[in-house]
Structure 1
Amino acid sequence: MPGLLVLMGSGETSPTMVEVHRAAARALRAGARAVLLDTPYAFQENHADISARARRYFAQSVGLPVEVAAGIAGADWVFSGPGSPTYALERWAESGVAGDLRARVRARQGVTVLASAAACTAGLATVPVYEIYKVGTDPHWREGIDLLEPLGLRAVLIPHFDNAEGGTHDTRYCYLGERRLSRMERELPEGTAVLGIDEHTALVIDLESESVQVAGRGGVTVRRPGSAVVLPAGTRTDLARLRGLAEGASESAGAAVAPQPPARPEGRVAEVTLEETIRAGEERFRVASAEPDPVGAAQAVLDLEAEIVKWAADTEEDSGGVEQARELMRLLIARLGELAASAGLRSAALGRLVESLIALRATLRGQGRYDVADALRSAVQAGGVHIEDTPDGSRWTLAP
C-alpha cells in the first residue's frame, strides 16, 4: 500500500479540498477499502446525517466509495474529521484505534487523512477546544495520539490556525487566540513545536519518499517560542527540512522551501470558499437592485443556489456555512419580490426573470425545501405575478 499522511486544517468535505483528496485516492489500488471513522462526532444527534453527507461527497466528488466504521483494521484509506478531539481521543484509546493509527504511520503504509478535530489529535498533545472555547475550562493540553513521533517530529498540531470567525475577538489557533496559545506553549515539553494548519489547507506527507507539500488556500506555520516560519500553499520540501524547522533551524539554513507551482494542473484546488461566495453574491444583488436590474438580481440568487448545492456535503458548519447561505437566499428572494414590484416590469425582461425563478422553485421543491420554495412564490406574487401549479408544471400570469 502507498504511505501517505494528509493533515487538513478545515474544509475536508468542501470543494476546496477535492483535488487534495483525488490526488491521495489515485495512489490506492483497485478495490481498496476506504473507511470513515465517525468517532469525533458520534455523540451528536445528527451523526448519521454527517456521515451520509461525507460518504456522498467522497463518492460523487472524489470517486471513492466509503464505509463508516469504528475500526480501521484492513483499511487502505482512512478518513476522520470534524467533532470533538477529546471525545475521539478517549474512544480511540479504549478501542485500540489510536494504536492502529500510529502503526499505519510507523509502517509507512496506507493513506491516512485527518482533518479539523481529528487532525488536532495527531500531535504529542491535543487542544481540548470544546472544553476551553465553549465551556470555559482553563487552557490546558490533553495527551495526543502522536502520529508525528514516528516521523521524527516533536510537535502539537493545531488546525483552523487562521480562523477569523471571532470578528471582535481573537479566534485564531483553533479558537484559542494568541493569549491562550502563548500560555499553553509554556506548558509543553521542552523542544516541542506547534504545527499550525490554516483553514482550507492541507499538509501532505509522502511517508515513503518523505516529501512534503502544502496544498490549498493558506499555509502551514512552524511555531516555536519567539519565532514562526510560514510555509505557504505550493511549498514543496521534505521531512528533514520540516524536522529542522520544528527543532529551531533558521529559515536560511538547509534546503529551500520556496513555493512552487503544482506539478499537474489537476492538483489545483478551489480558490473561493462559500463564505466569500456569499459576500460576492450579496454584493452582486445589491448592485443589480440599485440599477435596477431585476434579471441580474435574480441571476445572483440562482448562482447562490448553485453554490449551496455544490457545498451541500460540507460537514463542518463553520463561518460561511451552508445554513448561512440559505438564510441569505431567503432574504434575497424577499427583496427580489419588492424589486420586481417597484420596477413595474411588463416586458420580455419580466419573462426571463419569472421563468428563472420558477425553475429555481421547482428545484427547491424537488429537494424537499418547501419553506424556501414557498418564500420564493410569495416574493414573485408580491411583484404582481400569479403562479398556478398544474400537472404539467407551473404557469404564471400577470396580476391585473
Structure 2
Amino acid sequence: MTRVLTILGSGETSPTMVTPHQRLFARLGPDTRAVLLDSPYGFQENADELTEKAQQYFRESVGREVGVVSFRSAPPADPLAHAQEMARLRAADWVFAGPGSPSYALRTWAGSAVPEALHDRLAEGGAVTFASAAALTLGLVTIPVYEVYKVGESPYWLEGLDVLGRATGLRAAVVPHWNNAEGGTHDTRFCWQGERRLRMLEDQLPDDAFVLGVDEHTGLVVDLDSGACEVVGRGTAVVRVHGDEWVVPAGETVSVEQIAEHGRSAGAATPEPVAPVPEPQLFFPDQAIDDALAAGDVRTPLALVLDTLDDPDVPPEGLRWARSRLARAVAALGDPVDVTETVRPLVELLLELRAQARAEKRWAESDAVRDGLAAAGIEVRDTPDGAEWEVRR
C-alpha cells in the first residue's frame, strides 16, 4: 500500500516538479485514478482555463491523464451532479488541488464530503498532493492570505482541515510560498505575510502547535507508512517555533518524529503514528470490483457493497471500505457511455455485409445498409482504404 501526502510550496505545474510527480505516479501504478479538485480557484473567471492548463501539464509533461472533480461553489447548484462528483473524489487514488484562495476553498468544503474523502484516501491508500492555496488548508489552522495581505485585516487564523495532523499527528500550520520575494522592497516571505505579521500569527497559535513552511518550487513528500519526509525541488522546508527555525534543504530526508522534535519547544506532544486502515479480507477484492466496472457491470459490486453495509457484524474499518467502494460504483454510474465502442461490433458487421454487396454489384443492398446506418446517426464515408464511419454527435 502507498500512502503519500505531498505539500508543494508552489511550482506545482512547473518543470521542477515533473520528476517528483512522475515518481509518485510510478509508485501508485499505471491504473491510478487521478483527479484535480478545482475548488480553490472556483471563483475565478478563468477557472476553466486553469483547469485545462493543469490537465495539459500532467498529460504532456508528466505523462498522466488527470480528470476533474468540479466543486466551485457551495451550495452546489445541482445536488445530483454534485453527489456524482463527490463519488468520483472518493473513488480517486490521487487527488490534486492547487492555487486560488484558501479561505474560499475552506468555505466551499465546509460541511461537504471533501475533508473525509481526503482523510480516507490517506488512511486507506493513495496520495493527496496539495499546492499553494490548497496546501494552506492542510494544517491545523490556515492563513486567510488575501484578507490579510490585500484587504488589510489584522492577521488571524482560520480553522484548517488538519489533514496533516490526522495523517501524521503533527499539529502544524502549513505555510507555502515560504521564501516569496515578490514584494521587492517590502517583505512578502511566509506566503505574503512578512516577518511582522508572521510573529503576530505565531502568538495566536495553540501552545502545542508550530509552523511548517515550504519554499516556492519545493515540495515536502511525506510517506505515511515509513514516516520519511523528503524535500524535493529547489528550496527548503522549515520548522519554525516563535522565530526559531530548523531548515531542511532539498535532497534531504528526515522523519515525522524529527519534525515533531524540532516543533516540540512549542509544547507539541509526540505524534502517534497513524496506522493504515486494513482492508478486510472477507470483502469483495478490489481487482474484481475494477474488472466488473470496466466490463460495465455495476450491479454486482453494488450488491456486494450494499450487503456489507447492511451487515450488523461488520467492523468500522469494513464500513469505511464499503463506503469507499460504493463511491467507486456510483462514479461509474455517472460516467458517460462511449457510444462508438458500444455500437462498433454491429457497425463493422454491417459494413462487411455492405462490402460484399458492393463487390457483387448488389448496389441496392449496399445503399440500403448505408442509408440505414445514416438514419441511425452513423455516417459512412468510402475512401481508397475502405469504409470509414463515425457516430454523429
Bigger shift: residues 199-208 or 236-245 = 236-245
Q: Please, what TM-score do these two structures have when normalized by structure 1?
A: 0.61
C-alpha distance after superposition, 1:214-262 (max 9, x if no partner): 011110010002411100111112111112112139xxxxxxxxxxxxx
- In 2: Cα distance, 1:138 partner to 1:61 partner: 41
- The corresponding residue for 1:142 is 158
SS at match of 1:139: coil
Question: What amino acid sits opposite 2:47 in the alignment?
Answer: H
- The corresponding residue for 1:5 is 5
Q: Rate the CA distance shift 1:215–1:42 in 2: closer, same or farther, 3 A.
A: same
What RMSD in Å do the two structures reach over aligned CA positions? 1.3
- In 1: Cα distance, 2:177 partner to 2:242 partner: 20
- In 1: Cα distance, 2:111 partner to 2:193 partner: 28
* CA positional deviation for 1:108: 5.4
- The corresponding residue for 2:223 is 206
* CA positional deviation for 1:191: 1.8
Mapping 1:293-304, distance limit 5 Å? none
- In 2: Cα distance, 1:191 partner to 1:81 partner: 28
Moved segments of 4+, more than 2 Å: 102-105
Question: What amino acid sits opposite 1:208 in the alignment?
Answer: D
Q: Rate the CA distance shift 1:49–1:86 in 2: closer, same or farther, 3 A.
A: same
SS at match of 1:26: helix
- In 1: Cα distance, 2:243 partner to 2:236 partner: 19
Q: Determine if the alignment matches structure 1 residue 127 to structure 2 residue 143.
A: yes
- In 2: Cα distance, 1:227 partner to 1:134 partner: 27
- In 2: Cα distance, 1:108 partner to 1:134 partner: 39
Q: Determine if the alignment matches structure 1 residue 22 to structure 2 residue 30.
A: no
Mapping 1:1-400, distance limit 5 Å? 1-70=1-70, 71=86, 72-105=89-122, 107=123, 109-150=125-166, 151-248=168-265
Question: What amino acid sits opposite 1:65 in the alignment?
Answer: E
Question: What amino acid sits opposite 2:240 in the alignment?
Answer: R
Question: What amino acid sits opposite 1:241 in the alignment?
Answer: Q
CA contact (8 A) 2:93 2:121 kept: no
Larger-Rg structure = 2
- The corresponding residue for 2:364 is none
Structure 1 unmatched ranges of 5 or more: 250-400
How many equivalent pairs are there?
248
SS at match of 2:58: helix
C-alpha distance after superposition, 1:13-33 (max 9, x if no partner): 011111111111111233221
Question: What amino acid sits opposite 1:110 in the alignment?
Answer: G
Q: Rate the CA distance shift 1:226–1:81 in 2: closer, same or farther, 3 A.
A: closer
CA contact (8 A) 1:170 1:176 kept: yes
Percent sequence identity is: 51
- In 2: Cα distance, 1:86 partner to 1:51 partner: 19
Q: Please, what TM-score do these two structures have when normalized by structure 2?
A: 0.62
CA contact (8 A) 1:200 1:216 kept: yes
